[in-house]
Amino acid sequence: MTEFREILRIAGTDVMGHKKTYLALRRVKGIDFMFSNAIIKILNMDPNKKVGDLSEKEVEKMEDVMENPKKYNVPTFLLNRRKDYDTGEDKHVVSSEFQLTKDMDLRRLKKIKTYRGMRHQWGLPVRGQRTKAGYTHPPVKKHRRQAVVGVKRRKGRK
Per-residue model confidence as pLDDT tens digits over 120-131 = 888 888 888 888
Domains defined for the chain, CATH in brackets: 7-78 (1.10.8.50)
- How many CB atoms are located within 10 Å of the residue 22 CB? 19
Q: Residues 10, 24: contact at Cβ < 8 Å?
A: yes
Look at residue 115 and tell me whether its pLDDT is greater than 90.
Answer: yes
Q: Where are the alpha helices (DSSP H) in the chain?
A: 21-24, 33-42, 56-67, 95-111, 115-122
pLDDT of residue 81: 86
Banded model confidence at residue 40, pLDDT cuts 50, 70, 90: very high
Say how far apart CA 105 and CA 115 lie, in whole Å. 14
d(CA 29, CA 66): 11
Taking residues 95-100, report their average pLDDT.
88
Question: What is the model's pLDDT at position 147?
Answer: 64
Please check whether residue 46 is in contact with residue 21, taking contact to mean a CB–CB distance below 8 angstroms: yes
62: pLDDT strictly greater than 60: yes
Q: Which residues lie below 8 Å from residue 19, measured CB to CB, with a gap of 6+? A: 27, 50, 51
pLDDT at 143 over 70: no
- Predicted confidence at residue 149, as pLDDT, reads 66
Average pLDDT, the chain: 84
Q: Which is higher by pLDDT, 45 or 138?
A: 45
Whole-model pTM: value is 0.71
* Local confidence band at 42 (pLDDT 50, 70, 90 cut-offs): very high
* Dist. CA 109–CA 116, nearest whole Å: 7
Give the C-alpha separation, 98 to 57, whole Å. Answer: 24
